[in-house]
Amino acid sequence: MGSRTLRVGIIGAGHIAHAHLRELVQQPGVQISAVVDVRADAARALARACGATACATVEQACSAIDAAYLLTPPRVREHAVAVLTAAGIPVLCEKPLAADVPSARRLAELVRAAGSPFMVGFVRRWHPPYQRIRTLVAAGELGRLLMVQRQRLGYLPLSQGNWRTDPSQAVGMTVESLSHDLDLLRWLVGEVVEIEGRVVGSRPELRDFDDTVLATARFADGTIGSWQASWMSAVEHNSLALIGDAGTAVLSGRGMWRSDSLTTAAPGATERVELLAEDEAADMGFAGETTTFLALARGEQVEHPTVEDGLRTVELSASILS
């Protein structure tokens, strides 16, 4: 694709589209050329804001784009992925890959058959403190990992009219949001071989809608792990702890997605507490995710969350819910 301008299409002009656009408009050699949404007014408004053309269908957008951001709710991905992969268009697909395992498998099949670039939006991989932890683990500084713990608590007000509370679209926290945390620990530790969990929902009118989850797992290397997450916690808290036989590292933050401090120690040694600078503490990872996807779309070989990572994460969520 060389140095030619990359024409990007946005499919799904909702909340997360704005986070992606903020990064995309800062990138050299990128033009937002098409916006697709089933809500024509939303497509028009976003298209106007970034100088793109509003399109009624993905098929219409295809001839005007070189890469696509698929930002629809998870139950409406299959048609777009079929059209985009058939046209060989690289796709950044928001997480979770799909709402359930059969759908995730169909999507993975489409992507494998097409062989075109496809990345799942597990944006937390680009949160700088998590990248530091990954470097610590890879360098063996924690030794052999024994246990990893992930806790993410916060409050998500779910308004009327949002797909998360529409019974025909809702998937619950374990499928939607925990996908970030499941992917994060797989990325840091390796494959999960056993997992089980308990979930609870605070919205009895929404059948099968969970917003609080507790899960435990064993990884392929024998490490044990746990996840605790809630959309109903009035206190926001974010932590990641890794305990190894040569050292422990704990990231902790005041906010659902922040990491304010990194505490490390070797067994028996004094703890070292590092307060993280604001730009690192609050970096959600969207900038790193954007440059990675654009490189992938331009044909570079870059490490990225693949469709297989997306599929595995949906399988893990399903096991927790089973």
Binding site for ligand NAD (CB under 6 A): 11-16, 36-39, 42, 71-74, 76, 94-95, 121, 123, 163, 176
Burial class (CB in 10 A: 0-12, 13-18, 19+), 223: buried
Residues 6+ apart with CB under 8 A from 26: none
Kindly report the backbone phi and psi dihedral angles of residue 273, in degrees, each rounded to the nearest multiple of 5, phi listed first.
-110, 125
Considering the complex, state which of residue 152 and residue 298 has its C-beta at the smaller distance from ligand NAD. Answer: 152
Considering the complex, state which of residue 94 and residue 283 has its C-beta at the smaller distance from ligand NAD. Answer: 94
Task: Supply the minimum distance, in Å, between the C-beta of residue 29 and ligand NAD.
Answer: 24
Task: Evaluate whether 181 touches 152 at the Cβ level (below 8 Å).
Answer: yes
Query: What DSSP state is assigned to residue 216?
Result: E
Task: Supply the minimum distance, in Å, between the C-beta of residue 11 and ligand NAD.
Answer: 5
Nearest-CB residue for ligand NAD: 14
Considering the complex, state which of residue 38 and residue 302 has its C-beta at the smaller distance from ligand NAD. Answer: 38
Task: Supply the minimum distance, in Å, between the C-beta of residue 79 and ligand NAD.
Answer: 7
Task: Evaluate whether 3 touches 66 at the Cβ level (below 8 Å).
Answer: no
- Angle at the Cα of 138 (from 119 to 151), degrees rounded to 5? 70
Considering the complex, state which of residue 97 and residue 249 has its C-beta at the smaller distance from ligand NAD. Answer: 97
Considering the complex, state which of residue 166 and residue 196 has its C-beta at the smaller distance from ligand NAD. Answer: 166
Task: Supply the minimum distance, in Å, between the C-beta of residue 63 and ligand NAD.
Answer: 17
Considering the complex, state which of residue 11 and residue 242 has its C-beta at the smaller distance from ligand NAD. Answer: 11
Task: Supply the minimum distance, in Å, between the C-beta of residue 267 and ligand NAD.
Answer: 36
Taking 3-state DSSP, the helix, strand and coil percentages for the chain, each rounded to the nearest 5, stand at: 35, 30, 40
Task: Supply the minimum distance, in Å, between the C-beta of residue 269 and ligand NAD.
Answer: 36
Nearest to 321 by CA among 72, 96, 77: 96
The rounded distance, in Å, linking the Cα atoms of 202 and 209 is 8
Burial class (CB in 10 A: 0-12, 13-18, 19+), 33: buried
Considering the complex, state which of residue 14 and residue 190 has its C-beta at the smaller distance from ligand NAD. Answer: 14
Task: Supply the minimum distance, in Å, between the C-beta of residue 281 and ligand NAD.
Answer: 17
